[in-house]
Amino acid sequence: MDLSWMAWTTPVAIFFVVLVCLITAMGIWEYFQPGGGPRVGWLRFETTRGDRLFLSILSAGFINLGWIRWTDQSLWWALALSIIWAVFIYRKC
């Protein structure tokens, strides 16, 4: 399989591995404890843990794309920012 069109750097590979692990862990968690713990946070609408995971993943994608567009710094910083943002979403949403 020719994947030379993709910029497979270490941060990109880690991003996708973490993405798969998060979705798998969320599926297992939902299997053993269904419902998702809905709550209303600063977004002012009810979210479940699956919704918060989706928001975190979507945000991480945009953070990384924005990082590539507007900086020349290492993607490790974008990964760190994405993790901090995901923690914020899970605690405040």
Asked whether the predicted pLDDT for residue 85 surpasses 90, the reply is yes
* Closest C-alpha among 41, 46, 49 to residue 25: 49
Which pairing describes strands 39-40 and 46-47: parallel, antiparallel, or unpaired? antiparallel
Length of the chain, in residues: 93
Q: For residue 66, what are the contacts with CB-CB under 8 A and spacing of at least 6?
A: 78
Q: Using CA atoms, how far apart are residues 36 and 21, in angstroms rounded to an integer?
A: 18
pLDDT tier at 84, thresholds 50, 70, 90 = very high
Please give the structure tokens belonging to residue 12: 């990109």
* Closest C-alpha among 93, 89, 69, 67 to residue 79: 67
pLDDT digits (tens, 9 = 90+) for 52-64: 889 998 998 899 9
In percent, the amount of the chain with pLDDT more than 70 equals: 96
